[in-house]
Structures are given as structure tokens and as C-alpha cells.
Structure 1
């Protein structure tokens, strides 16, 4: 209902705007036409009055009558309604007559004579209302002849102007009616797509966006998204906005799902060492002979270390998620990776460790040396933990003008295809085929931490795996650049 009312309001405003515009145009044209026609007709009448005055003065000069002689009015060519008067030297009316409809002049009454007073003999034209005769256009001339006053009725001119006004009004009314109907139809047709766009917006506003599973939202029909029209541009913009809303909702669902899974896994990981600590503490508190105190303390200490490491990993991920700034110094990857490989050899003597350097440029990057060392250490620990003894782990440092690479490759059993897409997600558990010890799959945060640290440094991590060869690749921008170019292959 709200949409319909608004649509009608817009249609009404448009119709009112076009209607007022048309009325203004028609009024301007009518006034211009009436003014021009009036000026033409009045000018023509004034010319006739001036000509009649000159003829009357010339006719008196040829006559031999007394001072009241107006016999020239009996001459041919004097139209009905003509007023003529003789004036004295002071401009006063001496005699005045009007030509009647039967062409016989008759004297003017006193009231009619009074309407002629005050007209100077200067050839100027005046408009006077003569009682019982109507409105006249009058002039008075003197010159070298006998002063005379002549007037012609304006009824014909006024009737013609009134008729012209009536015709203009009728034509304007008819034109406005037709134009109004056409505008109403055109505006209604043009507003239909906008109405469908508004209806789509109303449907989207009714969707439960704040909760629940949001299915595909309504879109503006393709026919109403023509960029060549204003309504089409609005429809296309609304569709783009709905696309963004759906993308944001989908991302929100994925984030919420990851958060729920993260909390569940974190709770599970913390519960296990806590349960062990509580159990050993209870045994020691009871003083039972089932376990030696020294062994219980060792187990409590080991589980405490495990839980402390897990909490520190979780705090690190939280800090990385908050995009807290890291130290920014020049780091030599060759020295950093060599140190990490040396540490890994000490921790996993049963594996074969190799280091290779492929340097076409400087292997220096800008970042936090401790965090970058943690990335390499996590990748090496992952290879040590999830491959059997005797596995060869080769770490390669490669530097080009475009990027710096750290590759950790092993010839172990590989990662199963089912696990490979989620291997960098938090709390992703390694399958037993890559686990050196049954159940020793770690907390599942090592690769997630490596990915987060690399991303903060403007790089990326990837993995390729098949039976007999697994390669983790860390790609970092060289020193002096903030981020990597678009992927173009290694």
C-alpha cells in the first residue's frame, strides 16, 4: 500500500508539473496572439480615425455653411456610428452629430457632448465611453483649417478581440485536455518499471536478513534494468546492491559457521589437557599408590605446556585477525630458513633434512623475523609430525625480482584429496596416513597460523600433494614492495 501511494504521488506531481507547464505555454501563446492582434486592430482603427478627421476638415473647407454646418456627414463613405463635431478656437464643441444606422446624422445629447470635453486639438487619439453609443476612438485636429473632432466606434475591434480570446481559450482547453491525457498515459507507462523496482525493494525488505537462512532474494526483471533509461539504471543498481547483500550474508554464514566450529574445537582441545590435569591432581590428592607422584607431576607439567601452547596459538590468531601491526625490518630469508632447518634437524633426527638455495636476487623481505621464523618452523614441524621416520624433507629458498619463495617438500605418503582443500583451516586434523604416531595430529593450528602470518606480510601459502611428494610453498613480496602481484605461476 505504501508503494502504491508513493507511486501515485509521484505520478500526480509529474502530471501537475507537465500540466502547469502546458498551461503556462498556452497562456503565453494566447496572450501574445491577443496582444499582437489587438495592437494590429487598434492601429488600423487609429489610422481610420485620423483619415476620417482629415477628410472631415477638408470637407468643411469646401462648404459655405455657417459655423454649425456639419453637412459633410451626409457625404458618401461615412460609416454608421461616426461622430463628428466642429470646435471653436478654444476647443469647445460648437456642433456635433452622429451617423445613425439609416445613414442620417442626428445631434448628440448633452450627456454625449459632455463625454467629448477636454480633448485637445493635437492629433492625439483618445478612448472615450459615449453614453448610449459605446466606446469610441476619438481625435481632434486643427492645423491651418477649421478645428474638427472625429470618432469611430470600437465595438467591432472589441468584438473581434473577444472572439479571438474565446477561440484561443477553447483551443487551449482542448489542447490541454489532449496533452494531459497523453502525458498521463506516457507517465503511467514510464513509471511501470519504477513501480516494479519499488516492489522488488519491498520484497527484499521483508526478507529475514537479520536471522535465519536467507534464500535467493528477489531481483528486478532483466527488462527493467536497461541502462538507457533512468528506471533501468535504478533497477540495475538495485540488483547490484542485492548481489552485494547476498554475498555479505553468505560470508556472514560462513564466518559464523567457522566461528562455531572454531569454538567447538578450541573447547575440545582445552578440555582434554584440563581433564588430564584434574585427573592427575585428584590421584595425587588421594595419595593413591596407583601412580607415582613424580610421573603424575610430569604428566601435569606436560599437559600444562600443551594447554599453554594452545592458548598462545589462539591468542596469536586473535591478534592476527585484529590486524595488529607487526615489526617491520629487513629479514634475510636464507639465514632465517637455515636456522629453522637446523632446529628441525635437532628435533627430528630420524628424518633427513636438506637445504637448497636458488638465488637470482636478494632473498630479503620486510617483516617480523620472529613471526616469519614461526611460519617456517610450523611447516617443518608439520612435515616432521605427519611423515614416517626416514622421510627426506627438503627446504628451498628461491629469490627472483618478482617474489621470494620458501618451499618445504617431503617424500612422505602425501595428503588425502579429501583433506587437501581444508588443510589451512583452523583445527584441521591430519589423517593417520601422514601421522607418525597414532593420534598425534597436533592441535590443527600450525598451518592456520602460517597462513595468517604470511597474509599479514602480503604473501600467500599454497600446497601441492600426491603420494610420495608434498610441497608447501610460501610466497612473499621482496623488500621494498607492500604486496605480491597477481598470481602468474611460480
Structure 2
């Protein structure tokens, strides 16, 4: 399943360009919208400016016509002499209107500077203008759009106008220029944007490649080491792609550590099953052998001796099974029967029992705490911790070894140290001394004639200590081995699920 998903990721990477295309298209559309808005704003602003300038020219032309008529007044109501004055722009339109609003005459300055009289249809297009100086737009046949205004002259009125063709022409040219510039700008921006987007997304592509490589690794079986990582150049936290790279590397680290822990757990489980099978097989083989000899009736074996050996092996097997059951209960987090346990009394009783079992050792107790110091603990289990540590010191050291048990208290913890000056624990097994079925007999020679242990004593001591929210450590070198147990002084240090 994981490999198939990894292949899917690899296949989809080929379509990763769609993201780049979408980004480029989106950016181009945004730029196009911005350019269009700017172009329209520029065109309309320029058009309004040109129209205002044209309106100003029309008003000035009307004032000139009005002044010329006042100076050049004649009885001929159809005279257009004011259009023959110097400085009249090409296309200038002029008309005279009587008091009833009828256009008497009208003319326009042609391209060659001459005056052309307007036809009746053209004059009709000029009718209806109020002589108040207001500007109007009219379409004059054959002449196009004009901006017109009318002013009064002695009861009559005069009309002046200028063509809007120049304004429209300049507006159209400006619009074309804006479109061309915007097109060139959009093309350049699209190319630059495509390059920039491609470069910016390149680290993200490498991150996706790493993820696909990791996804193709069969993580559900075998030993998994050396998973790919995102290159350091793609883990810059100042960039979004770098943040993704850092997060992916962190995830891969967690996956790799979890897989390594799973591998170690599986190896410990296999070793545990093998050791447990071996430990159980030995007493079972002895019991089966003695039972076969007893049922054979050969008379070669004293029945009482055989029963004693069967009983001894049964006791050993029972102890092993009980130790395994205890470890299973502690692993499950079974609640402890906690009570106030006096530390001084607990240490003294444990050393007294150890002295009775190992009279060939030198036993010392050092109490550096008040006699009233107590811990919230399961008395029987805590006693088992000390018994296992003292038994370990007694069994794995030669006669005459000095074993010192020190108890002291801090503000929050009680510390118990078990020290011996024996041969020490080999360095190669020191790190695994609290694991199940670990034996250190290679360097710490057992006293001759003593029964071999199961290798569960220190594992039980560590599990019980952890169940009490404490911790246990060991340091060792030849002539100086010390186990240290820390336990909380207050009952609140125990989680609610472990109290009973």
C-alpha cells in the first residue's frame, strides 16, 4: 500500500507543472486586470482633459464671435464676417440665430482657410441651443460631432463650435498605445513570472521528490535506515518551501526513530521469547527426566532425592513464571497498593535479610535522613527492589566484598544507593543491564555452587521503580559499582491510575 502510494506521488509529480501554469495564468490575469484598469483610467482621464480644453476653446471662440459682432455690426443678419477674423482654427463653426431661435445663417472654416456656408439640414442640427453659454454636443451632418455654445448679442444670439474629431482621434491613439504597451508589458511580465515561479517552486519539487522516495521504501518490514532527507539548501525557514522541507525532515526523523525503536522492540521480543523458552525448558527437562527415571522403576535413583530435585526445579520454574507475570502486570500499568512506607525501616530490613543470606559479605547501612521520612509506595514491591539489588551484589561478587546501602532525602526525592567494591559490570552489557534476561556472569563471577538466576531481577527492579514514578541508574567500574534509586517523597507524584 505504501509503495503504491509512493508510485502515485511519483506519477502525480509529472503533473506538477499544472501548479506552475495556474500560478502564471493567475498572475497574468491579475496583471492584465491591473493594466486594463490603468489603461482605461489613463484614456478616460486624458479624454476628459482634452474635452475640457476643447470646451475652453469653444467658449473663447463664442466670446470672440460675440465681440466681433458688437464691433462689426451691420444690418445684414446673415453676415458671417466674424468667421473671417484671423486666428480662426480649421473647422470652427459659427451661426447667427434670431430672437425666435431660428438659425439665420451658419458657416464653417475649411481646411484651406475659406468660409463655407452650411446647408439647411446642417443648420437644422444647430437649432434649440439656449444662449446661456452652456456647452452641448451635436452631430452636424457631413461634419461630425461638434461642441457648441451660444451667447446673446443684442436680442439675438451667436453660436460657436469646434469639431471633436481631434479629441476622438487623440483618444483612440492613446488607447491603441496603451493596449500595445500593456500587451508588451504583459508578455514580458508573463515570461519573467514563469521563470520566477519555476525557480521558486523548484525547491518544492525537490521536497516532493524526497517524499516520493521515502514513500516507496517498504516501511512495514525489515530494518529501515538511511531514509532520504530534504537537502539543506531547501530547508531555509525564511521561505515557505524551506518550512515544508524542515517539517518533512522532522517527520522523516520521527519515522526513522520510530522504525528503529520498532526494530529494537522486535529484537528484544525475539530475544525475550528465546530466553524465556530456554529458562523454562531447563527445569521442564529436569522434571521430565526425573519423572521418567522414577516411572521406569530401575532403582538407580533414590525416590526422595528425585522428588526433591523435581520440587526444586518446579520452584525455580514457578519463580520465573511469577517474575514474568509481574513484569507483564507492570507493563500494563496495574494499580499499586500504595501506603506510607518508612524509608529507614525499609532499608534496614532489606540489609538485615541480605546479611542473613550472605554472611560472607560485609554489609553497611548509612542513613542520612530523618527517621520519619516516608514515601508513598507499595511496600512489598519496593522491598522487592532493594532485595533484588542486594541479591545482585551478593551473588555477583566474591566473599569479603563490602556492600554499602546509603539512604538520603532531598526536598522532593528520596535516594537509595547500593554500592559494592566487587569486580564491576562489563562495559559491553552496562547499557542493557536493566533489560530482561540480561546476565553479567562473564566478568562478575558467581560464587561457586550458587544457583543461576533468570536475569529478570534488575528488569523487575527498574519496572517497579518506574511504576512508582521514580528512576534507577547504574555506574560501574572495577572496584566501584553503584545502583541509585530515586523515589518521590509525596503521594502526588504517583499518577491516579497507579494508586489503590
Q: Give the aligned CA root-mean-square deviation in angstroms.
A: 2.8
Distance in 2, matches of 1:396 and 1:439, equals: 27
Native 8 Å contact 1:412 1:434 kept in 2: no
Matched, 1:38 2:47: yes
Cα–Cα, structure 1 residues 469 and 4, in superposed 2: closer, same or farther, change >3 Å? closer
User: What is the Cα deviation at residue 340 of structure 1?
Assistant: 1.8
* Alignment match of 2:328 (pick from 318, 329, 337): 318
* Alignment match of 2:485 (pick from 471, 474, 479): 474
Native 8 Å contact 1:3 1:198 kept in 2: no
Instruction: State the match for 2:465 in structure 1.
Output: 454
CA-to-partner distance for each residue in 1:309-359, whole Å, 9 max, x for gaps? 212211221222233443443322111111222333344445444323222
Q: TM-score, normalised by structure 1?
A: 0.89
Distance in 1, matches of 2:82 and 2:400, equals: 146
Structure 1 residue ranges without an equivalent (≥5): 484-490
Distance in 2, matches of 1:328 and 1:67, equals: 127
Matched, 1:274 2:284: yes
List aligned pairs for 1:105-124, cutoff 5 A.
Answer: 105-124=115-134
Instruction: State the match for 2:20 in structure 1.
Output: 11
Matched, 1:234 2:227: no
Cα–Cα, structure 1 residues 259 and 16, in superposed 2: closer, same or farther, change >3 Å? same
List aligned pairs for 1:294-305, cutoff 5 A.
Answer: 294-305=304-315
Instruction: State the match for 2:3 in structure 1.
Output: none
Structure 2 SS opposite 1:119: coil
User: What is the Cα deviation at residue 442 of structure 1?
Assistant: 0.7
Matched, 1:264 2:274: yes
Q: Which moved more, 1:214-223 or 1:138-147?
A: 138-147
Structure 1 SS opposite 2:156: coil
Q: TM-score, normalised by structure 2?
A: 0.87
Distance in 1, matches of 2:424 and 2:49, equals: 105
Instruction: State the match for 2:195 in structure 1.
Output: 185
Matched, 1:204 2:204: no
Distance in 2, matches of 1:371 and 1:331, equals: 11
User: What is the Cα deviation at residue 262 of structure 1?
Assistant: 0.8
Structure 2 SS opposite 1:212: coil
Cα–Cα, structure 1 residues 188 and 418, in superposed 2: closer, same or farther, change >3 Å? closer
Distance in 1, matches of 2:244 and 2:97, equals: 81
Instruction: State the match for 1:488 in structure 2.
Output: none
Native 8 Å contact 1:414 1:465 kept in 2: yes
Instruction: State the match for 2:92 in structure 1.
Output: 82
Higher RCO, 1 vs 2 (CA within 8 Å, ≥6 residues apart)? 2
Instruction: State the match for 1:160 in structure 2.
Output: 170
Cα–Cα, structure 1 residues 314 and 116, in superposed 2: closer, same or farther, change >3 Å? same
* Alignment match of 1:442 (pick from 438, 447, 453): 453
Distance in 1, matches of 2:483 and 2:427, equals: 15
Q: Which moved more, 1:311-320 or 1:276-285?
A: 276-285
Matched, 1:194 2:204: yes
Cα–Cα, structure 1 residues 467 and 38, in superposed 2: closer, same or farther, change >3 Å? closer
User: What is the Cα deviation at residue 158 of structure 1?
Assistant: 0.9
User: What is the Cα deviation at residue 287 of structure 1?
Assistant: 5.3
Structure 2 residue ranges without an equivalent (≥5): 1-9, 495-500
Cα–Cα, structure 1 residues 335 and 157, in superposed 2: closer, same or farther, change >3 Å? same
User: What is the Cα deviation at residue 133 of structure 1?
Assistant: 0.9
User: What is the Cα deviation at residue 164 of structure 1?
Assistant: 1.2
User: What is the Cα deviation at residue 241 of structure 1?
Assistant: 2.3
Native 8 Å contact 1:415 1:434 kept in 2: no
Native 8 Å contact 1:465 1:471 kept in 2: yes
Distance in 2, matches of 1:445 and 1:480, equals: 28
Matched, 1:28 2:29: no
Distance in 2, matches of 1:362 and 1:181, equals: 83
Distance in 2, matches of 1:24 and 1:287, equals: 108
CA-to-partner distance for each residue in 1:181-230, whole Å, 9 max, x for gaps? 22222222222222222222221221222212223112222222223333
* Equivalenced residues, count: 483
CA-to-partner distance for each residue in 1:338-383, whole Å, 9 max, x for gaps? 1222333344445444323222796433332222111001112223
Native 8 Å contact 1:385 1:441 kept in 2: no
Native 8 Å contact 1:283 1:291 kept in 2: yes
Distance in 2, matches of 1:106 and 1:338, equals: 135
Structure 2 SS opposite 1:132: coil
